[in-house]
A and B are shown apart, each in its own frame.
Chain A
Amino acid sequence: MKPAPFDYRSPATLDDVVTALAEQPGARVLAGGQSLLPALARRALRPPLLVDLRAVPGLDRIDRTSQATLFIGARVTQRQIERDHALAGECPLLAETIRRVGHPQTRTRGTLVGGLAHADPAAELPALLVALDGVVHARGPRGDRRIGADAFYLGPGRTALAPDEVAVAVEIPSATTTPSPAVPTGTPGDAGGGTDDTGDLAVGGACVEVAPRATVALCGALATVARRADGTVAAARIALFGVAARPVRARRAERAVLDGGPLDPALIALLTREDLDAARAADAELPDGEGGTNGASGTNGAAGAGADGGDYCREVAGELVHRAIDRALVAAR
C-alpha cells in the first residue's frame, strides 16, 4: 500500500501555496496528513503534487479576539488544542470533541482545519464545525473569503473550497453568542450577531458517540449550550455525524432546548427524526461528481453502515441528541 508518485513543494508564503495549487490542477494541500496520507496509500487519491503548509508562518497559532472569538490556524494540531487548557473554558465542546478524534498518535500531527476540510460525514470534526457555527477562512487566487458551516459541506469528502483554494483558519464564535432562533442559518454575516451576555453565561459542551470500539465511532451527537444564572438556556447548538452525507444540524431539537421545560426523550427523538429526514432530503439534491474536494474521499464509516450511517444511526440519533443535550446542560451548571 504505497502512494502513486507525486511531487512535493513546501512554499514559504500563503500566496505561493495558492500559486502552486493554481499551477498544478489536482494538487492537494498537505497539513497534518493524517487523513490525506491513508487515502494516498490506498491510491484512492492520486494528486500530482502535494503543497505542504509546514513552512508557512503564522498558521500554527490559536488567536482570540476581544469578543472571545477563536481563530485556529490551518497548522494547529489536534494535540495543540488538547494541551491548550484555556480552551476547555472558552469552548468546552471543542475540548471535549478533539480528544475523541483518531488516536493520540494521530492527533500529534492531525490538524483541526485539515479534519474539517477532509469532510468525512462519519467523523466528529465536520459536525464540530456545524455545532460551533464555525467559519472557514479560505484563500485563493481570487482573494480571501469566509465560508459558513452551513455552506461548507457538499457531500462526503466534498466541500465548498475550490481546488485552488486553501483553508487558512477556522473562526469559532464565542460559545456564549446567541443567534436569534428566528435567524436559523449561521451565515458568516450574522455569526457575530445575537445577544452576547459574555460573563453571565455558563457554557457546556458534550460529544456523545456510539463507539463499540473505542477508536471508531459509528455516529454521534455534539451539543453546546449556554445557560443563564437562573438556569434558563440562552444558546444551544447541536449537530450529528454519521447520519447523512454531511453533518446534520438538529435545529428543531435546539429550539426545544431554548424553549425550556423538561426534555422529553420521545419529543427530542421525534424532532431529531424530522431534522434528519430534512437533511437526507437535502442530501438527495446534492450534485454528483467532483465538487470542491480539498479533502479526501472515502469515509470512516463502520462496516455495514454507508456514508449516511444506515438505518441504525437514524434509529439512535434522537437518543444521542438527547444525551448530548443532557450532558451539555449538566456541564453548563
Chain B
Amino acid sequence: MTTLRPDAGTAGVTRSAAGTRGETGGRPTVVGTPARRREDDRLLRGRGRFVADLRLPGQAQAVFVRSTEPHALLRAVDVSAARGDRRAVAVLSAADFPGGPPLLPSASGPVPGLPTAQPALATDRVRYVGEPVAVVVAADRYAAEDLADLVRVDYAPLPVVADLDAALRPGAPTLHPRAADQPGGPPGTPARGDDGAARDDSAGRGSAPGWGDNVEQVVRAVRGDVTAALAAAPLTFSVRLSIARQAGAPMETRGVVADWDRAAGRLTVWTPTQIPHGMRDAVAAALGLPADAVRVVLPDVGGAFGTKMQPYPEEFVVAWLSRLLGRPVGWVEDRAEHTVATVHGRDQHHDVEVGHDASGRILAIRDRMASDIGAYSFTNAAVEAIATPAAVPGLYRVPAYAAESLAVFTNKTPAGPFRGVGAAPATFVMERIVDLVAAQVGVDPAEVRLRNLIGPDELPYGPRTTLHLTQGSMPWPPHDSGDYPGLLRRALDLVGYRDLRREQAQRRASDPAGPLFGVGLGMFVEPSGDGKPELARLRVDEYGVVEVAAGLAPSGQGHETMLAQIVADELRIPLDDVVVRLGDTDRLRWGAGTMASRSAAVGGGAVRLAARALVERAVPVAARLLGVPASAVALTEHGFGRTDGTGAALDWASVAQAAGPTTGTGELAAEAEFRPAGIPFGYGVHVSVVEVDPGTGVVTALRHRAFDDCGTVLNPMMLAGQVHGGIGFAIGNALFEELPYTDDGFPLAGAAGYPLPTVSSMPADVWVAHAQAPAPPAAGRGGGDVKGAGEGGVIGGTAAIANAVADALAHRPGPPPARTPARTPAGTGAGGTLAFPSLPGIVGPEAVTRIPLTPPEVLRLLRAQPSPATGVPAAYPANTPDRRHAPNPGLSRG
C-alpha cells in the first residue's frame, strides 16, 4: 500500500503539474502529469466532426421504418406509396435483398451460425418495437421521414413475452420456435438457408432445454462445492436481487455514412464505433466483400460506453444502399429511435442463497441468475449474462460459489454491453450480500468486509472459479495484485467513517422525523481488458514528427492525449512532436478497439512497445550517422547522441531522413503487438452518503468518495474525469435510470425519455483519490503497470449508493407504519421458473433488493414493515445445529 493521492479539485491537479512526478535524466516525464487535452480545442470551438456533421457531395439520407409491434408476423410490407413519391431515392424492405438481408453476427451466442440471429431488416416476423422493417432514402431527413410515413406494414400480432418471469414460465410463447412448433408454418428466415441445419439443434446449449423455450444459453461458474458448503454453513439466507433494464445512453446517438467508390470497388464507412476493424470485417462480410475493400474511419465520437461496440442492422443496410445506389448514403439515429434501436443492458434477477457464520464470514454463495437479452442473439446480447456469473464474488474470498446464468429472450430491444457490463450488476449483488450478512450478524458492514476480503498475501488469487460456456470451459483469471483491506482501511480513515456513523446517530436522535441519513460502501474489482491483444504503429516523418496509430477507438476518453504522453516519455520528445491518429482501418492492419477498460492498460502497452521498437529501429541508423557502434548510441532528450556524451546530437528528423535505406521500409516506423499475459485487476472502494426523504422516498446523494488503485496514473486529470463520469452513471443506475415496458411489451420511455442525471442529481461533494500501488511488472505487461479505470466508477459507485440507501432505511426511527403486503420471497413467486428450494431466512420486504431506487420504490420500502432484527446490532446466539436454518426468528418469518 502506498500513498493515496487525493485529487481535491482541479486546484490540486494544477499544483501537481509537470515535473512533480519524477524525472529521468533531467527531463521531466509527462506521464503522470495532468497534461491538458489536445482534443479540447476543436471540440470547444464546435469544430469537432461527428458523423451527423458529414455531408459528402451527393449524400442522401436514410430513415428506417421500425416495428411498432413487440411481436408479430409480418403479413405485408407495402412500400409502393413511398416508392411512388417523387422524392424517393430508394425504398427497400427485406424482399429487396437477393438471398435475404444480411444477418447480424451473434458473437456472444452459444454457438456460431445461430438461427436466433437478427436479419438486418425483418423478414417475416418482428420481435421488438423498434426492429427495422424497411428503409427509405431521400435527399434529406425531413423528406425521408415523410416517405417512411407512407410505408404500410400489416402486422398479425403474436403473444408477447414481456419480461424474464413471463419468458421462463412453463408454456410461455417462444420467440424463436422450432420449425415444428411454429404456428402457421416454418419460421420466417428464408434468407438463411445455410443455417437451416442449426435450427433443429439443441445440443449447442449443453444441458439447457431445447429451442422450444426462450433460453438462449446457460452459463455456469463454479468454485468449490457450494452444495456442501451451504449445508454446512451455520447461518443461511436467501434473497432475490434485481437490476432494472438500463442503457448506456451516450449524448451522441449512432449513425453511419457509407460511400461506395464504384471505380475502386471500395467502400468507405464513417461511423462512431468502438471497433473500427471489427466493423470493417462485419460490413465486408455482410456485403460479401473482401475485408480490404472496406475502410472504416472514425469521426469524433460523442460517447459510446459500450453501446457502439457492435455492428447494428443500420450499418449493413446503409452500406448496402450506398453500393446499390452508387452514391453516399447517411443515417443518423434520432433520440426516439435510440431508446429502442440501440442495445440495452442489465435487466437481471439474481436468486441468491448465502451461507455464513456468526462472525459474518461468507462461506458459500449460490446465485441463479437470469438476464433479459432482448429479442435476438444480437452481436453481444448475452454479454451481461456471460460476464456476470464469475464476477459476483469479486474481491472477497467466498470459498464456495456456484452460479447458473440464463440468457433469456424477450420481446425487447436486444441487449448488449454498457459501462460496467457484468461487473456492475455482479458488484451490486455481492455488496448487497455483504451488507445483508452484516445486518444478520449485527456487525458493521465495514468490519464484515475486512473479515471477507482477500488479503494482500493471498494475491495473486486464483484462478479459483471455472466458467462453463456452451462450447467449453475456462478459468476466471486470477486477481493479480493490490491490497484490498489496506485500501479499505485507508478509505475509512480518510472519509472519517466513524465520524459518519456518529453523525448518523446524532441526526437520528436530534431529528427523528427528519431525513434519513445513510452511509454505504461499494468495493469492486475492475478487470482491465478482456485478454485480447492490441496493435500499435509509430512512424517518424522527415520533420521528426511521430505519428501514432493504434487499434483503439476513443469516444471522449482523451486517447489522443494519453497515448501522446506515453510516446513522449518513451522517445524523450516534446508532447507537441507526437500526433495521434486513431480509427482509420487503412492505417493499421488490425485492432481490437476500445472497451472493457483496456485502452490505457492494453492499448497504452502496445504503444509503449511500439515506441521501444521504434528506438531499436532508429539506433542503428543513428549509429551509422554518428560513426559509432550501436552500443555506443544513447537516446537523449534531443534525439540521439553518443553514450559518452561527446560529439554531435542527432535529432529524430535526421534519423528519419536517413532511415529509409536502412530499415528497408522507406520510413522510420515500427509496429508492435501487445499480448497481455493476464488481466490486471483495478480495484477500489466507494463511499456514498445519502439522505432519504421519509415522506416521499426521494433520495439525495450528499457526498461521494472514490478510492481506487489503477496502478500507475498516466494523467490524473483525465483519470479523475473517468471516475467522475462513472459516478454519474452510478447515480443514474442506482437511483432512477430505467427502461420500462408495459406488460404487453411496449416501451414506455418517451422520445427524450431515458432519465439521465443532471448536475443537481450529483452529490455536491465528490472526491476522488488514487492509491498508486504499482502492479507487479508481470511479464507481458508491456513495461507498464497500468490498470483500467474507465468503469470502476459505475461498478463501485452503484453498489455504494444502493447500500447507503439501505443503510438509511435500516436506521429509520420509530415504529413502522402500517403493514403492506409482503414482497414475494425469492424463488417462490408466481411465474417462479427460477424457483429453487429457498432456504429459511428470507430477507424481509423492507430490504433494498432492486435498483433503481426511485421514489416509488423507496416509498414502498419505507412503508414495508421492517424485520425486528434490522438495524439492531445484537450478539447472535451460538451456532447450534438445530438453529442452523433459522438464524433469526424475525428474518425467517414469511
- Spell out A's residues near B (CB within 8 Å): 1-2, 4-5, 38, 41-43, 210-216, 218, 298, 302-305, 310-312, 315-316, 319-320, 323
Docked complex Cα distance between A227 and B485 (Å): 60
Q: A1-B335, A304-B854 are in contact. Are A212 and B699 (CB under 8 A)?
A: yes
Whether B146 and A5, one on each chain, are in contact in the complex, defined by CB atoms closer than 8 angstroms, is: yes
Docked complex Cα distance between A244 and B699 (Å): 24
- List, in ascending order, chain B residues with CB within 8 A of A310's CB: 856
Docked complex Cα distance between A316 and B697 (Å): 9
Chain B minimum-CB-distance residue to A299: B750
Docked complex Cα distance between A320 and B696 (Å): 8
19 inter-chain pairs at a CB distance below 8 angstroms, sorted by A residue, are A2-B141, A4-B145, A38-B751, A41-B751, A43-B149, A212-B699, A213-B756, A213-B758, A214-B758, A214-B761, A303-B738, A303-B740, A303-B748, A303-B749, A303-B750, A311-B856, A312-B859, A316-B695, A319-B695
Docked complex Cα distance between A1 and B855 (Å): 31
Asked if B760 CB lies within 8 Å of chain A CBs, one says yes
- List, in ascending order, chain B residues with CB within 8 A of A210's CB: 696, 698, 855
Query: What does the 1/0 interface line of B722-755 toward A look like (CB < 8 Å)?
Result: 0000000000000110111000000011111101
Q: How far is the CB of B876 from chain A (nearest CB, A)?
A: 36
- List, in ascending order, chain B residues with CB within 8 A of A43's CB: 145, 149
Whether A42 and B336, one on each chain, are in contact in the complex, defined by CB atoms closer than 8 angstroms, is: yes
Whether A319 and B696, one on each chain, are in contact in the complex, defined by CB atoms closer than 8 angstroms, is: yes
Whether A304 and B335, one on each chain, are in contact in the complex, defined by CB atoms closer than 8 angstroms, is: no
Complex partner residue of A2 from B145, B735, B748, CB under 8 angstroms: B145
Docked complex Cα distance between A211 and B697 (Å): 11
Q: How far is the CB of B751 from chain A (nearest CB, A)?
A: 5
Q: A1-B334, A1-B335, A303-B755 are in contact. Are A218 and B855 (CB under 8 A)?
A: yes
Docked complex Cα distance between A215 and B749 (Å): 16
- Spell out B's residues near A (CB within 8 Å): 141-142, 145-146, 149, 334-336, 695-699, 735-736, 738-740, 748-753, 755-761, 854-856, 859
Whether A216 and B755, one on each chain, are in contact in the complex, defined by CB atoms closer than 8 angstroms, is: yes
Q: How far is the CB of B339 from chain A (nearest CB, A)?
A: 11
Docked complex Cα distance between A63 and B748 (Å): 42
- List, in ascending order, chain B residues with CB within 8 A of A311's CB: 856
Whether B751 and A323, one on each chain, are in contact in the complex, defined by CB atoms closer than 8 angstroms, is: no
Whether A213 and B757, one on each chain, are in contact in the complex, defined by CB atoms closer than 8 angstroms, is: yes
- List, in ascending order, chain A residues with CB within 8 A of B755's CB: 213, 216, 302-303
The residue among A43, A216, A303 with the most chain B CB atoms within 10 A of its own CB is: A303
Chain B minimum-CB-distance residue to A305: B856
Q: How far is the CB of B248 from chain A (nearest CB, A)?
A: 17
Whether B334 and A323, one on each chain, are in contact in the complex, defined by CB atoms closer than 8 angstroms, is: no
Chain B minimum-CB-distance residue to A215: B758
- List, in ascending order, chain B residues with CB within 8 A of A316's CB: 695-697, 855, 859
- List, in ascending order, chain B residues with CB within 8 A of A4's CB: 145-146, 149
Whether B761 and A213, one on each chain, are in contact in the complex, defined by CB atoms closer than 8 angstroms, is: yes
Q: How far is the CB of A319 from chain B (nearest CB, A)?
A: 4
13 more A-B residue pairs beyond the given contacts A213-B758, A305-B856, with a C-beta to C-beta distance below 8 A: A2-B145, A4-B146, A5-B146, A43-B149, A212-B736, A212-B854, A213-B736, A218-B855, A302-B755, A303-B739, A304-B738, A311-B856, A316-B696
Docked complex Cα distance between A210 and B855 (Å): 8
Whether A1 and B740, one on each chain, are in contact in the complex, defined by CB atoms closer than 8 angstroms, is: no
Whether B735 and A212, one on each chain, are in contact in the complex, defined by CB atoms closer than 8 angstroms, is: yes
Docked complex Cα distance between A4 and B145 (Å): 8
Whether B751 and A1, one on each chain, are in contact in the complex, defined by CB atoms closer than 8 angstroms, is: yes
- List, in ascending order, chain A residues with CB within 8 A of B336's CB: 1, 42
The residue among B696, B698, B758 with the most chain A CB atoms within 10 A of its own CB is: B696
- List, in ascending order, chain A residues with CB within 8 A of B753's CB: 303
Docked complex Cα distance between A319 and B855 (Å): 13
Q: How far is the CB of A303 from chain B (nearest CB, A)?
A: 5
Q: How far is the CB of B412 from chain A (nearest CB, A)?
A: 15
Chain B minimum-CB-distance residue to A208: B696
- List, in ascending order, chain A residues with CB within 8 A of B699's CB: 212
Chain A minimum-CB-distance residue to B700: A212
Chain A minimum-CB-distance residue to B752: A38
The 3 lowest CB-CB distance pairs between A and B, nearest first, are A312-B856, A214-B760, A319-B695
- List, in ascending order, chain B residues with CB within 8 A of A298's CB: 750
Q: How far is the CB of A242 from chain B (nearest CB, A)?
A: 12
Q: How far is the CB of B260 from chain A (nearest CB, A)?
A: 26
- List, in ascending order, chain A residues with CB within 8 A of B757's CB: 213
- List, in ascending order, chain A residues with CB within 8 A of B698's CB: 210-212
Q: How far is the CB of A216 from chain B (nearest CB, A)?
A: 7
Docked complex Cα distance between A175 and B399 (Å): 69
Docked complex Cα distance between A2 and B142 (Å): 6
Docked complex Cα distance between A1 and B317 (Å): 20
Q: How far is the CB of B749 from chain A (nearest CB, A)?
A: 6
- List, in ascending order, chain A residues with CB within 8 A of B149's CB: 4, 43
- List, in ascending order, chain A residues with CB within 8 A of B146's CB: 4-5
Docked complex Cα distance between A310 and B857 (Å): 13
Chain A minimum-CB-distance residue to B854: A212
Docked complex Cα distance between A1 and B335 (Å): 8
Docked complex Cα distance between A216 and B761 (Å): 11
Docked complex Cα distance between A311 and B749 (Å): 19
Chain A minimum-CB-distance residue to B333: A1
Whether B696 and A304, one on each chain, are in contact in the complex, defined by CB atoms closer than 8 angstroms, is: no
- List, in ascending order, chain B residues with CB within 8 A of A218's CB: 855
